[in-house]
Amino acid sequence: MTAQKMKFQTELEQLLHLITHSLYSNKEIFLRELISNASDAINKIRFDALSHEHLLEGDTDWKIHVRLDPANGTLTISDNGIGLSPETAVENLGTIARSGTRVFLESLKQKQAGMPPDLIGQFGVGFYSAFMVADRVTVLSRPAGDPQGGVRWESDGKGEFTVEPYEKAKRGSDVILHLKPSEKEFLEPYRLREIVRKFSDFIEHPVIMDQEKEENGEKKTVEEVINSRKAVWLRNKADNTAEDYSTFYKQISNDYRDPLKSIQYSAEGQQEFKALLFIPAEQPFGMQFGEYKWGLRLYIQRVLIMDHCEELLPTYLRFVKGVVDSSDLPLNISREILQSNPKLEQIKNNVTRTVLKALEELRDEDYDKYVGFVKQFSNILKEGPARDFANRDRIADLLLFESMNTPVGKYTTLAKYVESMPESQKDILFLIGETREQLQNSPYLEAARAAGQDVLLMTEPMDEWFIQGLRRYKDKSFTAVDGAIPPGTVSDDEKARFSRLLESLKSKLPEVADVRLSTRLKDSAACLVAGEHGVSAHMERLLTRHGREVSESKRILEINGSHPVMQALVKLPDGDARLESYARLLYDQAVIAEGSQVKDPVAFAKRINELLLKDAN
């Protein structure tokens, strides 16, 4: 293979342009990214060597070497990790196979220099942060187990790179940064020590830098370890500061904000492990785009086994970041067997209980901060009751709800709601819709308001599934106030009086399954409710929004017999031509009141205008 010149993937070319020309703040994070990559390369070969020992090639003196060359203006970060072949160099350094990169690029373009560069890491492109300080980057690498498979990769970050064979004596990678003239501060030893201790002090492998020392009148070059190497989660809790936790959290999460809460503990007994967990202050950037990699980092005796071990967390806690370091699991276990290991399930249960307890403490001790957490993550927590039967009541108690009787911006809990229920109220009442403003004025609340009852107002996409998953709370069932079963009964006299009007309206509205008198309405003229086994209007809208085909179920039109409009309509004779127009108006009003859209807004407006004209004359 001779030297080849290749073009970067289009999106990567755009990204490099933005990195080079727009991201100037906090440039020092490039060193953190490159040291993390080197550490990952070492962890990778340590894991692979558990089943392929020949890959070690007799070299287990793990280290990350930072070399300064002021004369040539270069900074080199070397490792003796897994290494790259020509093929993997092209694959890993020339493309970004992620559709979400487009979203990331748009965010960068909008924010420009204001975009926190830590977001680079969230899309797996930390290597390219080198171009913030270098006008050319050279990578010399050789993969483990292939002495002839070395590669030289080089680029100036302007759209192209070259790749060619390279003879390298030892496996691993040298990343050589040809620093820009304006970035020579990164050739100062004290500056590099400062950056390493700030961002990479916990890296378990020694980060070393050559230092000149004089002994017996002779100058000697010695290797100086510039990181403490003590993993944060292995230190005594009392020895860690809030800053230690924050720095480590930012390193593993690529979040530029401090964590909302840090949880460090050691489990002993049937299972022994150490854990350091973090609850973020806001949703991770990638979570909303469907490309979010979740799961805790799993170490076994300080060897990184998995970056994203999903088996350590239930999905409804997938926002939690952190590490688990076990001394019970066998070091040479395969990833496939690991995922079905019963000890892993025990650790998961322990971690789950610990996180739930930490959230309970946050709720009880710092309510305002907890409200911020709920605003970010309640839609994810609401997946819990259907997935985790053992903890569903604890999960339910962590959730906050707006209700008809709570002031705007204030919340209640299910426990408080049940405690304040009138003695005559048997079920927990709720209404699901798009916004509180829409729900607050809904006709479905009228009966509850008149009876002195409260109604939970739910506005999150997950609420429909949350109710189905929870089913009951403290022996109370959940009842939708827009459901099929009306509260109360209608007298026989009233049924007889309105029977003719009900039949007439039903005949003129083929969209409805039935027309009946309502006992839930007090002020409004009409509303639509689902049939006994029908899907709610909100659920239909939700499924449609997510591209699901929904066969529209016919709903029931309920009319308020005491409303002046109905008192007038019941007096109209059967053949009155106005009945059809009035029936259509009542139906369209009910559609709007439930939060849906009328199918023919032009016709609706025309009927309203006709009424306005008649009234004006």
List, for residues 188-221, the tens digit of each pLDDT value.
999 999 999 877 887 889 999 998 887 777 888 8
Tell me the CATH number of domain 401-480, given options 1.25.40.10, 2.30.30.30, 3.40.50.11260, 1.10.10.60: 3.40.50.11260
Q: Are 562 and 534 in contact (CB under 8 A)?
A: no
Tokens of 166: 């390279």
List residues bridging with 273 in a β-sheet.
267, 326
The torsion of the CA quartet 205, 206, 208, 214, rounded to 10 degrees, works out to: -160
The contacts of residue 227 (CB under 8 Å, 6+ apart) are 196, 197, 200, 201, 202, 203, 206, 207
Q: Which amino acid is at 560?
A: N
Question: Domain ranges in the chain?
Answer: 4-225, 232-366, 401-480, 492-616
3-state DSSP assignment of residue 453:
coil
Among 27-41, 236-250, 268-282, 288-302, the minimum mean pLDDT is found in: 288-302
Residues in the chain: 617
Q: Are 93 and 161 in contact (CB under 8 A)?
A: yes
DSSP letters, 98-133, are -TTHHHHHHHHHHHGGGS-GGGGGGGT-GGGGGGGT
Cα 260 to the chain's mean position, in Å?
Answer: 15
Among 128-137, 166-175, 325-334, 555-564, the minimum mean pLDDT is found in: 325-334
Q: Kindly give the pairing relationship between strand 134-142 and strand 172-179.
A: antiparallel
Measuring CA to CA, which residue among 494, 531, 487, 541 is closest to residue 511? 531
Report d(CA 70, CA 597) in Å as an integer.
69
Residue 162: its H or E element: strand 160-165
Report d(CA 277, CA 295) in Å as an integer.
11
Q: What is the pLDDT of residue 615?
A: 62
Among 75-89, 147-161, 285-299, the minimum mean pLDDT is found in: 285-299
Residue 488 has pLDDT above 80, yes or no: no
Q: Are 197 and 56 in contact (CB under 8 A)?
A: no
Residue 567: its H or E element: helix 564-569
Q: Are 325 and 231 in contact (CB under 8 A)?
A: yes
Residue 286 has pLDDT above 80, yes or no: no
Q: What is the pLDDT of residue 472?
A: 93
Q: What is the pLDDT of residue 164?
A: 95
Residue 99 has pLDDT above 50, yes or no: no
List residues bridging with 153 in a β-sheet.
139, 163
Among 22-31, 223-232, 574-583, the minimum mean pLDDT is found in: 22-31
Terminus-to-terminus CA distance in the chain, angstroms?
91
CA distances from 138 to 72, 154, 401, 434 (A): 13, 4, 55, 53
The contacts of residue 90 (CB under 8 Å, 6+ apart) are 6, 163
Percent of the chain whose predicted confidence (pLDDT) is above 70: 88
Report d(CA 189, CA 67) in Å as an integer.
10
The contacts of residue 112 (CB under 8 Å, 6+ apart) are 18, 22
Burial call 121-146: b when 16+ CB within 10 Å, e when fewer? bbbbbbbbbbbbbbbbbbbbbbbbbe
Helix pair angle (367-381, 342-365), 10° resolution: 140
Residue 261 has pLDDT above 90, yes or no: yes
Q: What is the pLDDT of residue 566?
A: 93
Tell me the CATH number of domain 4-225, given options 3.40.50.12780, 3.30.420.10, 1.10.101.10, 3.30.565.10: 3.30.565.10
| pLDDT range class, residue 385, cuts 50, 70, 90 | very high
Which residue would you say has higher pLDDT here, 116 or 33? 33
The whole-chain average pLDDT of the chain stands at 86
**Mean per-residue pLDDT for 411-424?**
96
CATH of domain 232-366: 3.30.230.80
List residues bridging with 529 in a β-sheet.
556
Which overall architecture, per CATH, does domain 492-616 show?
Up-down Bundle (1.20)
Report d(CA 174, CA 65) in Å as an integer.
9
Half-sphere exposure of 23 (CA within 13 A, CB side): 28
Residue 323: its H or E element: strand 321-326
Tokens of 605: 């407006």
Residue 273 has pLDDT above 50, yes or no: yes
DSSP state of 528: E
Q: Which amino acid is at 93?
A: L
Q: Are 227 and 204 in contact (CB under 8 A)?
A: no
Q: What is the pLDDT of residue 100?
A: 45
